[in-house]
Amino acid sequence: MNARAFVAPQESDTGSRQQRELVQLIERFTRHDGLQETAVPGLILYRTSKPSEPIHCLYEPALGLTVQGRKKVLLGEETFVYGPSQYLVVSVDLPVIGQVIEASPEVPYLSLRLTLDPKEISTLLMELPVPPPTTQSCARCLAISGLGVSLQDAVLRLVRLLDTPEDIPALAPLVRREILYRLLRGEQCAQLRQIASSGTQGHRISRAVNWLRQNFHQPLQVERLANEVNMSTSALHHHFKAMTAMSPLQFQKQLRLQEARRLMLVESLDAASAGGRVGYESPSQFSREYSRLFGAPPLRDIARLRQSA
């Protein structure tokens, strides 16, 4: 029997041990359901003991691992489902719908999120011998891949630092750097490289996303947005949809409606005021588009959210 016959079982055993330890660590550091910020910069843990309702939110650039349970993410009209032994990478800000679909008090859903900084990725690309991607086309800005032993080991060592907080300032940056390196050596190299490499179409779309986030309340002029990022309007539409699964107008609409919902829920604005604040001139149009996205008119939706909270 050749040596390769032993490799897969050994890697599988190692990966299983790593996953079990991650489960134990996250259970210990998340005694209650909800998000838990940690002493490691950019590292957030999450636990829930029951499946969730679909939650509209904005994903920022990050690495996400579900170590126990399963989660579903909707981006545009695409559905992504992932669980243990997989990782999710988001490379630009994206409005999505997230839902925990497998969790119980006995076996809670456990996950972690590590924020990604395009500047760190850019620095690493210049300093280390990272191979170029095999394709030059724009990759989707949200993707799921299999979690290999090397990447899981680096993530595990980062979480272990929570037991020795005095080591975090010195060691966390080193482990974080290794995690980025492992990501750049993996299947999602293209989507990370494209947002960190100046002058690429992906980097221009990343700039377009940032512009929309800052100016979503303004009327969208696609020609102006294309000029902002030095692209033709046709190229902007094509590459924007390739990366985000949405057109710029659809992207802006989701940003507007999510912010309006937040204004009504957190700041107690009425529907007309919230719609006007985010750029809607017509209350009826705001109500129609709000109902289409959230499944109910503004007043009924906010009342339901407050009751469930």
What pLDDT is recorded for position 195?
Answer: 77
Of the chain, the end-to-end C-alpha distance in Å amounts to: 59
What pLDDT is recorded for position 136?
Answer: 53
Order of strands across the sheet that contains 55-59: 55-59, 94-102, 70-75, 78-82
> For residues 106 and 28, what is the distance between their CA atoms, to the nearest angstrom?
14
Please tell me the pTM assigned to this model: 0.89
Helix (H) or strand (E) holding 88: strand 86-90
> For residues 30 and 159, what is the distance between their CA atoms, to the nearest angstrom?
12
Please give the C-alpha separations between residue 162 and each of 28, 39, 65, in angstroms, as whole numbers. 11, 7, 17
Please give the C-alpha separations between residue 201 and each of 59, 131, 195, 238, in angstroms, as whole numbers. 21, 19, 9, 10
Query: Three-class SS of residue 255?
Result: helix
- At the top level of CATH, the class of 198-309 is mainly alpha
What tokens does 145 get?
A: 């891949």
> For residues 42 and 29, what is the distance between their CA atoms, to the nearest angstrom?
16
What pLDDT is recorded for position 8?
Answer: 55
Q: Which of 197, 195, 235 is nearest to 93 (CA)?
A: 195
What pLDDT is recorded for position 6?
Answer: 46
- For the chain, residues with pLDDT lower than 70 are 1-10, 130-138, 309
| Number of C-beta neighbours around residue 268 at 10 A | 10
- The ranges assigned to domains in the chain are 4-194, 198-309
> For residues 115 and 90, what is the distance between their CA atoms, to the nearest angstrom?
9
CATH code for the part of the protein at 4-194: 2.60.120.10
Decide if 142 contacts 88 (C-beta within 8 A). yes
What tokens does 282 get?
A: 């017509």
Decide if 25 contacts 68 (C-beta within 8 A). no
Decide if 76 contacts 97 (C-beta within 8 A). no
Helix (H) or strand (E) holding 266: helix 248-266
What pLDDT is recorded for position 125?
Answer: 86
Q: pLDDT per residue over 230-248, tens digit each? A: 999 999 999 999 999 999 9
